[in-house]
Amino acid sequence: MFFGIAGASLGEKFNAPLVAALNVVSHIMLKVTGYVMYVAPLAIFAAISSVIASQGLGILLNYASFIGGYYLAVLLTSAVLIAVGYMVLKKEVFRLLNMLKDPVLVAFTTSSSEAAYPKTLERLVKFGCSRNIVSFVLPIGYSFNLVGSMVYCSFAAMFIAQAYNVPLSFSEITVMMLTLMLASKGIAGVPRSALVVLAADDPQLQYTGRRDPAADGYRPFPRHGALRHQRAG
């Protein structure tokens, strides 16, 4: 912040070279990201192959149940939000959903809500919302109302607990959900940022110290290994 203030005080004559250099760096980073995206399918294939080779094809059923349950929870959450929107906007909520389909598709394909921010802002203003209000409310929602990340953290935490065969009481599940709810505030809207919150809360949940190797269906997963591969897939 202080660097930006000091740079702005020097005027355009001194700032122009810095802006040009940062612009070049941003283009280089985008090019590097493009290279990574080209090889990402091979890396994902290798990661999945490694898990299947060590755990067997049966591990895919665990992943399928996790992914299916997560998307079902997301759909139910979306249905509740749409119902609340219908109570306020009536039939206009469907016009809003139609206008937001492109930003939603961008967020889904990039696994990042940040990528959809400019288009979302544009569509909300076009819908009739004040730009000043949208510019204030939308960033707050991006930082403190991350419903999808919260749902994912909850499912991932329960998935890890089941992978380690850790019995959790209702009170422990409640505490875990409240902890994840608080920890998810301010999480970055970029891919895999939820893993940071999950990893920070995992020691508190003490999975490895309470697992029961004698329980039926126990599989010695590497710590967070299944979670990482699922996110990659």
- Is the confidence at residue 208, as pLDDT, over 50? no
Residues 1, 216: Cα–Cα separation, whole Å? 55
The residue range of the domain holding 27 is 1-55
The rounded distance, in Å, linking the Cα atoms of 124 and 61 is 40
Task: Specify if 221 maps to a domain.
Answer: no
The rounded distance, in Å, linking the Cα atoms of 20 and 157 is 44
Give this prediction's pTM: 0.59
One domain, residues 47 and 9: yes
Whether residue 137 lies inside any domain: the answer is yes
> Is residue 221 pLDDT above 70, yes or no?
no
Higher pLDDT: 84 or 164? It is 84
For the stretch 70-109, pLDDT in tens is 888 888 988 998 899 899 888 888 988 888 888 888 777 7
Are 195 and 165 in contact by the 8 Å Cβ rule? The answer is: no
CATH number of the domain that residue 170 is part of? 1.10.3860.10
d(CA 189, CA 143) in angstroms, rounded, equals: 8
Nearby residues of 117 by Cβ (< 8 Å), 6 or more positions away: 138, 142, 189
Helices (H), the chain: 2-10, 12-55, 59-89, 92-99, 101-110, 117-127, 131-144, 147-163, 170-183, 193-205, 225-232
Q: How do residues 107-146 score in pLDDT, each as one tens digit?
A: 777 777 777 777 888 888 888 888 888 888 888 777 777 7
